[in-house]
A and B are shown apart, each in its own frame.
Chain A
C-alpha cells in the first residue's frame, strides 16, 4: 500500500529551526491531515502532533505542525541535541481504508 513521502535526512544547526515535510495526496494528508511522531533509537514512537495539529499534553511548544494542501509540515524551533531522532508522519487514507506512514526523516542537529 502506497505510503507518504518524507526526505530521508535533514540537518540543521543547534538553536536553529528545522522544517520537515510529508507529502501525500487528497485521500490522506489532504483529507484529514497528518500526525507527527518522534522516535529515538531503541524507544517506541512518541506523538508530537495529532492530525488536527494539536500537541498532546507535555509536548514542547517548540514543535508545531501545519498543512498546505497535500503536504504536512513539522517545524522545530530552537533545535536541541535531544531533538536528534527519526520523525514519522501518518495519515488515514480514505481510499485504502487504512493508515499510511512516511518512511521517516532522520534529523541531525549540527
Chain B
C-alpha cells in the first residue's frame, strides 16, 4: 500500500521557519518525481514545488522562490521542505504528492500567525 506521511507542521510567527518532512513507502520512491502542493483554508489547491528523481532539479512557484528549499533523501525514502521567512499567506495544509502517479499524503497544517 502506498503511503505518504507528512510531519513538521505547526504554528509559527511571521518571519519564522519550519521544516516539513514526508516519509514514503509502498512504492519505488527513487523512480518518481515528487512535489508539495498546498491548500489554504477554503481555497483551491496550489502547486508549491517539484523535485526530480535524483534531487538535482527543483522547481518552485514564484511566491516561494528564495524562501523554500525542497530536498530528498532517496536512501531514506524521504522528502523535506525547508520553509524560511514565512508569511501569513503561507498558511495552508501542505500535501506531499507524486502528481504523475497520483499519490497523495494526508497533509500537515502550517499556520503562520502572531
Instruction: Give the interface of A toward B (CB within 8 A).
Output: 1, 35, 37, 39, 44-47, 50-51, 56, 88, 90, 92, 97-104
CA distance A45 to B99 in the complex (A): 11
Instruction: Give the Cβ gap from B7 to chain A, nearest Cβ, in Å.
Output: 15
Closest to A92 in B: B99
Instruction: Give the Cβ gap from A31 to chain B, nearest Cβ, in Å.
Output: 14
Instruction: Give the interface of B toward A (CB within 8 A).
Output: 35, 37, 44-47, 50, 59-62, 95, 99-107
Chain A-chain B contacts (Cβ-Cβ < 8 Å), number: 50
Contact between chains at B101 and A100 (CB < 8 Å)? no
Closest to B102 in A: A47
CA distance A101 to B43 in the complex (A): 12
CA distance A102 to B45 in the complex (A): 8
In the complex, chain B residues whose CB is within 8 Å of the CB of A101: 37, 44-47
CA distance A1 to B35 in the complex (A): 17
Cβ contact of A44, chosen from B59, B101, B106, cutoff 8 A:
B106
